[in-house]
Amino acid sequence: MPQKLVRRVSLLKANAARNKNKNSLIIAADTILYSRKTFFHKTIKKDIAFKNLQLLSGRRHNIYTGLTIID
């Protein structure tokens, strides 16, 4: 489930930040694109980004964001 994945990754990021920043307000997030039972991960490589855009072109997709705040 994409919803569970973004929640879990957001929480993992927040806990990692909390371990390095005691007594701080922590805000962490994760975003994932999901289409046709496939997760599309962020990339900085142009060829992979282009391939992903081709796969998504003209097709429905959903974007999920998980947010964690630790005070």
**Distance of alpha carbon 35 from alpha carbon 33, whole angstroms:** 7
Known catalytic residue at 30: yes
Catalytic residue from among 28, 30, 66, 68: 30
- Tell me, what's the pLDDT at 33? 92
Q: pLDDT by residue (tens digit) across 22-56?
A: 889 999 999 999 998 888 888 899 999 999 999 89
Per-residue pLDDT, 46 = 94
Q: Give residue 63's pLDDT.
A: 93
Q: Rounded to an integer, what distance in angstroms lies between the CA atom of residue 15 and that of residue 40?
A: 24
Residue 37 has what pLDDT? 87
Best CA proximity match to 24, nearest among 32, 15, 33: 15
pLDDT tens readout for residues 9-24: 999 999 999 999 988 9
